[in-house]
Structure 1
Amino acid sequence: MHYRFALLGCGHIGKKHAALAARYGSLVAVGDLLPEKARVLADSWNVPAYTNLTDMLLETNPDIVLICSPNGLHARHAIEALQAGCHVLCEKPMALRVQDAEAMIQTAKSFNKRLFIVKQNRFNPPVEWVKQQLEAKRFGKLLGFQLNAFWNRTTAYFTESAWKGSLELDGGPLFTQFSHFVDLLYWYLGELKTVHFAQSENLLHENSIEFEDQGIAILEFMSGIRGSIHYSINAFDHNMEGSLSLFGEKGTVKIGGTYLNKLEYLALPGAERPDLPESPVNEYQGYTGSSSHHHLVYEAMLRSLSDPAYPFIKPEEARHSVQIIEAIYAQMGNRNRYYE
């Protein structure tokens, strides 16, 4: 089937989605709250520009709506598109609150439409390989984990867009920069049981963001596995590390690099170290982001639409990363105190 795509949100990631929509179907419209951003992207693809989602849905009748708007608007926009009879592919994070994620899931069910969430890091070769070893129980009983996420985001990054740095629309580093990392904790370890400890601070961005720029947390999952998260957007000059280490009774592994894109360490008796390609990364103006595997997300989504039995990330799974982040931030308390 040839799908008609409409895009909401014409920022950096929206431009990538516009190209993919044209590659895998037809891009029929783009929209953004800022008229000039919508017009520029629309002109480059020779499609109409909108500043209102309702009008775009009514006038272009798309099959799939791509949600790339500010984080805090994802739920509202996804729900409206689902209610209009469209499938939805929503960028991360799914939402900033679990109750909003639940509302998205229930709306998709009520209107018999599919809701997909972008989780492209699951397609990273080392990430997929470790998942296969976990499913085969090659590491034995897991004993613990360590997640490190050390990137660089300057004051200029936050001031280039009105919504970046906003507690209400951005949500914070765990939502905007590191939700893909948190997603792998659920994918590998299962449901969260509790957050034992969480603390954060804002040291370099006091006048540009309404939340923390670094933090630590200790988590326990229902499986009994405990571990910690250490994250920061204060790495000097450029992104430094994005890694996840798993410690098992029969083996240890570290997925590292800057974007969980390298198999950095492996001690697993009987297993040959795989020769895995290094994942490309998303290049933006002045900074880089997670792995550039969005084309694999599109291919999996379209295959799932034609064959519902084909496994794809269910929105219920994506909800768990929102739950984990929400629980960490709840333990931290008032993160807005740095801006007051």
Structure 2
Amino acid sequence: MSKIRIGIIGCGRIAQRHAEHISNKGELVAVCDTVPSRADELAAKYQAKAFYNVTDMLSQAGEMDVVAVCSPNGLHATHSIMALREGFHVICEKPMALSAKECGEMIQAAEQSNKRLFAIKQNRFNPPVAAVKQMLTEGKLGKIYSVQLSCFWNRNPDYYANSWKGTKDLDGGTLYTQFSHFVDLLYWLIGDVSEAKAYTGNFNHKGIIEFEDTGAVILKFTNGAIGTINYTVNSYRKNMEGSLTIFGEKGTVKIGGQYLNELEYQQIEDYVIENLPEGNKPNNYGNYVGSMSNHDKVYDNLVEVLKNGASITTSSFEGLKTVEIIEKIYKAAEFVD
């Protein structure tokens, strides 16, 4: 296999990031969007073929190895399964789907087609996150007592205007679109969740979104630790904080900044995290920013897996677990009017 040839389904904001890294790591050969002007614009920029429905792209794109699914959340499962059944590997944007059942169907389709299914969890590559993961793997904090996840972002009405974002069927909820990467880190760093309790409410986006803009969550992990998630998209005018604090028997550590990009605090027995490399900048969408832009590392892994048989950094099972935890939170949540 020479250059890996990749097609993109969905030509919105995040697809621009994918296209940039695909052109650096492989070859973008096809793009698809139901809005023809979007497909045409992205195709022209990278000399790719433009398609306006998924069936046509999958059947007519020609030589293609991988499909990147960047469509609305509620279509991730449908588009991934279609691509897998047509014989393509798939790399799927977050969240993997809007239900654990759909994630299971995607995994089954990959197994039946003998193709790879990549879940995108780019925050795992943030330097302070990677350093804390290594420390936890080595047992430096001892027994984990508790964890606090804070997600305080701003998403104003313009963000949701004339978009699938904010709709129950295609967006799914604030935890899916805004904070699923943060929930993934809870699973990756602390472990699986056995119980959840929550209050949610829509305080500042009534008539704009079809679900909550704020939540307060209590979690019990299978290893006995407890934790909380406080999240909102009502931070005044701009993002304020995305942080994760871990309390263990041998130390306390906090990863902070706006998007888990800074090591803000550490007090650890006989151990110091130091000399962290500078991370990538966040995904910048004009009036707001998203998570740290580590899609380059995601595509590095994809190339290594497909060319050299390396291990996938984030398995589809881990993508399923994130969705499963979010489902557990929403099922337990009491909505406050």
User: Residue 187 of structure 2 aligns with which residue?
Assistant: 186
Q: SS where residue 230 of structure 1 aligns?
A: strand
Inter-partner Cα distance in structure 1 for 2:294 and 2:132: 17
The amino acid that maps onto 2:229 is I
Aligned twin of 2:171? 170
Match of 2:243 in 1: 243
Once the two structures are TM-superposed, the CA of residue 307 in structure 1 deviates from its matched residue by 3.4
Whether contact under 8 Å (1:148, 1:243) holds in the other structure is yes
Q: Deviations over 1:53-94 (max 9, x none)?
A: 111011113100000000000000000000000000100000
Residue 35 of structure 1 pairs with residue 36 of structure 2? yes
**Aligned-residue CA RMSD in angstroms?**
1.3
1:266 paired with 2:297, answer: no
Matched AA of 1:98: A
Equivalenced residue count is 334
Contact 1:151–1:238 (8 Å) recurs in 2: yes
d(CA) in 2 for partners of 1:187 and 1:309?
Answer: 20
Does structure 1 residue 215 correspond to structure 2 residue 215? yes
C-alpha distance after superposition, 1:197-222 (max 9, x if no partner): 21111111001100010001101111
1:1-340 counterparts in 2 under 5 A? Answer: 1=1, 2-61=3-62, 62-161=64-163, 163-195=164-196, 197-279=197-279, 280-332=281-333
SS at match of 1:19: helix
Amino acid at match of 1:230: N
SS in 1 for 2:176: helix
Structure 1 segments unaligned to the other structure (5+ residues): none
The one-letter amino acid paired with 1:233 is V
Paired residues of 1:67 and 1:88 also in contact (CA < 8 A): yes
Q: Is the Cα contact below 8 Å between 1:7 and 1:30 reproduced in 2?
A: yes
Amino acid in structure 2 at the alignment position of 1:241: E
- State whether residues 253 and 265 of structure 1, in contact with CA within 8 Å, keep that contact through their aligned partners in structure 2: yes
TM-score normalised by length of structure 2: 0.96
The one-letter code sitting in structure 2 at the alignment partner of 1:202 is: N
User: Aligned-pair distance for 1:309?
Assistant: 4.4
Q: Find the residue that maps to 1:223 and give its secondary structure.
A: coil
Comparing 241-250 and 183-192, the one that deviates more:
183-192
| 1:272 aligned partner, one-letter code | V
- Deviations 1:205-245 (Å, cap 9, x if unpaired)? 00110001000110111111111000000001110000000
Cα gap change, 1:7/1:238 in structure 2, threshold over 3 Å: closer, same or farther? same
Contact 1:304 1:312 in 2 (8 A): no
Q: Contact 1:74–1:90 at 8 Å: present in 2 too?
A: yes
Q: Structure 1 pair 210/242, CA: closer, same or farther in 2 (3 Å)?
A: same
CA offsets per residue over residues 165-210 of structure 1, 9 Å max, x none? 0011001111001000000111012221111x21111111001100
Contact kept? 2:152, 2:235, Cα under 8 Å: yes
Q: Deviation at 1:311? A: 4.6
> Aligned partners of 2:216 and 2:278: how far apart in 1?
28
Query: Aligned partner of 2:144: which letter?
Result: L
Distance 2:22 2:228 in 1: 38
CA distance in 2, matches of 1:153, 1:111: 39
* Structure 2 unmatched runs, 5+: none
